[in-house]
Structure formats: structure tokens, C-alpha cells
Amino acid sequence: MKNWIKKYKEIIIVLGIILIVILFQWLKVIKSDIFLNKDTVTISQADHLQNHENIMKESNCIRVNEKTNNQTDEVIMEEEKRYSMQTGDRFAKVGNVIVYVNDFDNAIWIFDIEQKTYKKLAVLEDGVQKIYFDGKNIFCMPSYYRGKGIYQIDLQGNVQKIYEGASLQLWLTEDNIYFIDQIGYDTINQTPQGNLCVMHKDGSHKQTIISNVKNYFSIHNNNIYYTDQSSRNLYKANIDGTEKVMLATGRTYITSVTDDFITYLDYSDGEKHRVFYFASNENHVLGRFGNIHSAEEGIYSYTRKLIGEDNQIENAYTLSKIENTGTETEIWRNEVPLEYLCYVYHEYAYFDGNNSIYRIHLTVDNPEKEQLEIRYPYFIGGSAYSFKSKEDCITELDICHLDSNQTEKIEIH
């Protein structure tokens, strides 16, 4: 046996080597298959994860879009509330509810746009000068020459006189009413003058904050901006009337306030529109005539610029945006006089001129005027509103949705 093994030893070794090689190759193939299968599983998982990620991205996009839409609705609602609680007009809107003073019968009407319902809400014996609306109650004053008082009217038409004195300006917050307790009357400019007061919305807890105030005041970031009646200078104070600081001299009339600047009209200096920047204390002349407009997109001036230093002014009106950085950016020049900048929304500015409404595109060089089909006296929340009346009754509400420039007509019977 030993001799046999010895005789075939070399052959056995060779066969063993061959078997080892074969076994090695076989294990390599199996390992390769295992890795391949593992890689295949990994790729499949990656595809699944990628698909899941894509789905999540799409889902997030939907949520973002929904959030954006919700934010847009919230922005519109905030604009409507700000306008309705602070401006003092014969038109107010919060959400689907419109409150309107009909010029024919001087009655307060209320409309629900979504339900397409309307009713005559209230009639005050002494007429209605202005209305303010917080979404729950309407606050108004009678015509100054006919009566006095501040009235609260709920959405069911219940009327309550909450203050006996005269006032020409209210400013609503969530809890309080800030107002000018009228002392005398500016018959030339028909602006408030008296003591700036605050009270609860039921008329209780009245207190005087600042005495001797002239013209309309503004509230921003818990600060009050006002004109002193004696000096006519422009002041800033805390919401409680403390820590008064003079911002500008002249015969001032506030036109807008932001975080970064205040604009005002100075009657002592040729009725110039001016802007005072808080950070730099710089005071710039914007121009004469025209007007200042506050929009969600920013503050815009529409004035005739000065030429040189002798108070000469250009014939053209210049539309400019007042930047938070302390500069003004010129957007458009208009050679047509006696027009009014009534609204700025997204990429358009809307003007009222010659009993017609037209708009220009803000981002186009040398934009062409585009006239709208109907004259709209009220702009708010991305839409324009117009009422038609016949025999002292409102017969139609026209709404122009500015995003699509489409008109919706609601007949009222």
C-alpha cells in the first residue's frame, strides 16, 4: 500500500491541486452571486427609497403649495382687517363679509359674498361719516355737521351708542378703540383736532393718551405717530403716550408708517411729500402733488419731482417704490396730470384718472396703460369692488378679481 501511495503520490498531489482550484472557482462564483444578489437588493431598496423620497417631495410640494395658499389667504385677510379697522371709509371687508354705506339712502348694508345674501343693516338718524369693521362689529360716526357720537353695530343690526363726544378718526385694535376726541373743527382741511384717547370697544375705560393732536394719527409696532396741534411738528410716542420724540418739523400730515420709515406731507414747504428713514435719520423729498399709497408689497409714491433748488416741479408724475434700505426706486413716469394711484397688487399698479381705471405692469420697461372696463372705487384683498344703485336701492355688486382680471356680477333683488 505504501508503495502504491508512493508510486501515485505525484498524481494525487496534482489531482488535489486541481480540486482545490475547482473548489476555489466554485466558491468565487457563489460569492459573486451572493454579492450580486445583495447589490440587487440594495439597488432595489435605493429605488424604493428614491421613489419614497420623490413621493415625499411631491407630498411636501403639495403641502407647501397648500401652505402658500393658506398664507396668501391669511395675508389677504390681514390686509382686509388692517384696511377696515384703520382706514375709515364707506366700504369695509373682512373675509366674505362686506359692509358698505350707500350714498343714496346713507344706510349701512351688509353682504355675504359666499352666500350671496344681503340686507340693509342699520340707518342712523344723523347719517354716517365713516365706518370701521373688525369682522364682528361695525364702529361708525355720524356726519360731523349733523350729530356726535361713536356707534357700535353688530352683524344682526343692533345699534348702540358707546360714546357721546364727536370724533373724526377711529383706529381699532383687537381690544380697544383709539380715537381723536374732537375739539373744534378744521373747516378747511376737514381733519381731526383734539385729544388722542383710548377706550374699550364697549365704550368703557376712556383715557386721554396725548393732548393737543392735529390731523390723522397712525399706530405701528406699539408706537403712535402724530402731529402736535400747536407746533404742527411730527412726533413719535409709546402706545401709552409716554417718551415723545420729535421726528420732523413743519406743518406735517402723516401718510404712511412702516418698520423703517414714515412718509408725510409738509404744508409749510410747498406741500411736499417727504420720507423720514428711522435708521439713518435722513429726510428725503419725494415730490409735490400726487399721493402716497400703502400696499402689501410696500409703500409707493406718485408725485411730481422737483427740478433744481427753486421748487420748480416736473410736468410728469413719477411712480417710485420707497425701499427699506433708505432709497427710492423709480418705476414709471406718466405725462398725464391729475391722476391718482389707487392700488398696487402683485405686478400691477392701478390708477384712477378721467373717470376710468387703468393699470400698468410694474416689471415691464415703458409699460402701456391698460384700461379696465368698469370704474371701481374700492380696492382691497386682490379685488376691486363697485356698487350700482337705483331708486336708493343697491341693485348690483361688481367684483373684479385682479389676478385673472375677470369680473363677477352679483345682481341684488
CA angle 124, 125, 129 (to 5 degrees): 55
How confident is the model at residue 389, as a pLDDT? 83
Task: Evaluate whether 164 touches 149 at the Cβ level (below 8 Å).
Answer: yes
From the CB of residue 235, how many other CB atoms can be counted at a distance below 10 Å? 19
Does the residue 46 lie in any domain?
yes
Q: Cα separations (Å) of 277 from 161, 283, 330? A: 41, 6, 18
C-alpha cell at 56: 415625499
- Give a yes or no: residue 315 inside a domain: yes
- Nearest C-alpha neighbor of 378 from the set 69, 71, 79: 79
**Range of 286's domain?**
259-370
Distances from the Cα of 220 to the Cα of 228, 240, 245, angstroms: 18, 13, 15
* Contact predicate 167/173, CB 8 Å: no
Burial class of residue 63, CB neighbours in 10 A (0-12, 13-18, 19+): exposed
408 in any annotated domain: no
* Whole-angstrom distance, CA of residue 233 vs CA of residue 251: 6
Instruction: Give pLDDT, residue 19.
Output: 54
19 found inside a domain: yes
Q: Would 337 be classed as within a structural domain?
A: yes
Provide the number of structural domains found in the chain: 2
**Domain for residue 334, yes or no?**
yes
User: What's the confidence (pLDDT) of residue 29?
Assistant: 38
Q: Of 240, 191, 242, 183, which is closest to residue 217 (Cα–Cα)?
A: 191
Residue 25, domain member (yes or no): yes
Domain boundary among 70, 104, 127: 70
Residue 281 within a domain:
yes
Q: Give 10-residue mean pLDDT values along the chain (413 residues).
A: 45 50 44 34 33 32 38 81 95 95 89 90 92 97 88 97 95 96 79 95 97 96 96 97 97 97 96 97 96 94 89 92 96 86 95 88 91 88 90 86 90 79
